[in-house]
Structure 1
Amino acid sequence: MKLKWSSLAGKMACFCAGFILMLVAMQFGLTLLGVPFEVATGVSLLLVLPMVFVCCEMIFRQHKRAIDTLTNGLKSIQDGDFSIRLSSHHNADLTEALVMYNKLAQNIKHQRQSINQRELLLDSIVQASPMGIVLLDTFHHIVYFNNEATQLLQRPKLDGVPLHQCVDKLPPNLQRAIAERQTGLISFEQNDQKQSYYLSFKKVMMNQKHHQLLVFKNVSNELSQEEINMWKNAIRLISHELNNSLAPISSLTTSAKTMVEQSKHLDMLPDILQTIDQRTTHLSSFIAKYAQFAKLPKPNMDYHELAPLFEQVSQLYPFQLLAPLPVERAFFDLAQMEQVLINILKNAHESGSKSDDVAVKVVKDYARLRIAVVDRGSGIIDGNHHQALLPFYSTKADGTGLGLSLCNDIVYAHQGHIKLKNRQQGGLMVEFDIPLQDTTTI
């Protein structure tokens, strides 16, 4: 095996060989001069050992400098400084380690630059967001916020301030909602005007620590405009229905008046009166639906059996129960919940689905009961799911657009949510939840 002089092992091997040769030569020379062997050995060791220590110290000092340089480089990486580069040609023993250090520092530097650029881009997006964004630590102190948050909270400085000290300028109803960590749409009256805010609280992990993300926005103007648009649609729809009914009624009434005045074709009067009666009945039913939607009463919550409810609804719109009922009863308004099931099942049967493909599944989810109605009909066009729950929106030619909207209001009054989702192999799933028990007494 060949040992290079530049390596630590090579240096030590060569040095040991030279030391032995020098020791033997010195001992042999002293012996020739008549010095006893033991004395010659001692004198040789006394002369050679200092040289040994000096040379060893020089060798290890050189390697220590290289190791110290590498250690300082690693400390600089730890401190976030990736600009230091180490020269590797002075020490062959640590060449590979020094080269790996330089590559590592270069890679970390590039990765850090890439991360910094992404963070700057993300921060620019967050700062330009129209929604207020606030990040809270475990003690509910603000550690990050965007420009919209400072405007909504009406405070120029938020960093490090507890959240409850930053909401004192907000309306009391909104302060209470934030303190209770509510999520969703918060509406209330203030100065005779309706105010609406969207709130969202989510738990996130950052630097291996739990944080809470608050997203909120004042949506009063947007909702007001949406309400105006809905009322415009309602007025157009009601006007259309009124014209469709009143125009033929007016025409038929004129014809009947002429028949009576001229005493001609009196045998046609019963048919004319029957047609007028049908149109007025249709118009009365149409107006009654809008009155029912506008005056939805507060739910009369009580415990009711589930089996009789589903059995009664199935007499009107048959369906298949996919699994046994998980519980015997729940806490809801019987009449309103029956109306919800009737409206959803009616839509399922009118969606083009076969009657055998209309099914219901009931699942217990902690303190809630989830009810899903599925079919194999035409479903809803992607992007229109949120509109399907709005009043006056309908995909049917003769639809009023009140069925699902009424269901949404009833479910919301039961502290639940209704969801629409297209099925993969065609059809629609309508899912909503109701309470299992009275939570006000717990």
Structure 2
Amino acid sequence: MIIYKKCFNLIHNQYFLYKANIIITRKRGCPMTQRETYIKNSKTTCEHVYQMDPNSVPVLHVLLTEEELNQRLQHYERALSTIQTFMTKLLSFITDIPTVIVTTDDQGVVLDSYGDERLKQMTASLGIQNGVKFDEETAGTNAITLALKHNKPIHLIGDDHYHYCFSEVACYSAPYRYRNGEVIGTISIMTPKEHASPLHLGLLSSSIDTIEREIRVHEQNEQLHLYNQMLMSTTPIGIVISDQIGHIREFNQSAAQLTGMNKINMIGSHISEVPVLKPFFDHVLTKEKGIEDIEITFSRLDERKCLLDILPLYNHNQKLSGAFAQFRDMTSYYQLQEQVIQSEKLSAIGKLGAGLAHEIRNPLTSIIGFTQLLDVDKKQAHYIDIIRTELERMKNLVNQFVMMGKQTISERKSGHLYPLIFETVELMKSNAHLHNVELYFHAEEEQITVWMDASQIKQVLINFIKNAIEAMPQGGEITVSLEKKDQHAIIAVKDNGKGMSEKEIKQLGTPFFSTKSSGLGIGLSICFDIMKAHHGKIVIDSNEGAGTIANLFLPLHKEES
């Protein structure tokens, strides 16, 4: 800008020489320049088509209502702000030259003007204000209209204007464009004729180049910000960004869902508000070294297992400016892994069961039968009973192995649960009495219908009642209940036994896991598979020392629901 100011003074002194050269050139009969042609054609149109009087003062029309002007100003807000920033700085270097800056839209409507107050008063007296339109029909030959019409910088000095009232000013106008080359409007410099200089047009063109670049940068930044927000909002990956001291700057929706925290509340808070992440952020911000693939668990109602990556962020000076964390929900992946492992176990059990059925079960049956035929005294009978008990246990183990690996064919049909449960409870009462356990059954209503394989549901119920009896070695009470709720029939088996820990509950249904020292961990796994095949589920509610409630959910038959 300092160089521009010096050039102003230098070229200003040469201005009259510049005008003289134009006059000499014209006298020599040289062809008119393109600019001169534009001016001549415009003046001819004003005189013969619009029949304007050059001695009159043009009456500029207010094209926009106040509401329309406000809408237009809002649309041009970013451009006008950028233009004013650069042009105000330009004005600060030429304070000794009275200058007014005028900005218009692509139709020639004035949107903004500022600069020398005296010159502004003069332009205001001519009707130049926000909302008026510069066109040839009302304003005569003017730089704004010519710049828009010919899409190039134009300057009019003194008598270049059609109306004599503009003969004492010099006007320089140039269009400014979008990234695609589309004209969005003009920027004009108005100054007294005696201060006219070719440098004004050069300065204006140079300023517009800078302004256009700045507008493009703003547009690109806004687009990038929009894309970033879209990515941050739609990605299933949790993203947290902090500054160099751990204050959270970004916390996307997925991060909020995975952590169970409120997105709005987290912005601006310290990373210590997320205890799981804090030690890792501290490490990265202190050591300036990233970490990758760290397994973390967010404690919520449903624990989410995630893989965490955190990287340090640096500014343009390569100084630490913060940290970027992303964590991917791997819960479904781990669950799938467990399912694959369980499937492989079941496959192995199936193959083993087939062999066991043929090679072991049949001989066992024979041995058990022969032990019953042995004629032994009382002392030996005790040992024979032990042998028979263990053989029966082995046979039971083989049967369960075979059942685990066997794809049973389910014969489901509509049926009432009440008689099935009543029959099963009555069947199990004798076994319960042997263990000093009282077994009760009650139902809120008897007409509850589900689509089921009755024998399989009976098997599940027997298993849970049997487990409840075994959970109370000192005796107790078991209550079996039936109710209907939210499109489901619920069978509840409640005992007042020793209960289970949360860790034990989570592992129920896993093959070979059992809370009993003599258990095989196969029976419950079969029960879970049966309920899953019936589109039902098993929910265990238990606390150590406070008993257990096993809730069996079965969807109601459509006619019932």
Same fold, TM-score > 0.5, yes or no: no
Q: Higher strand proportion, which one?
A: 2
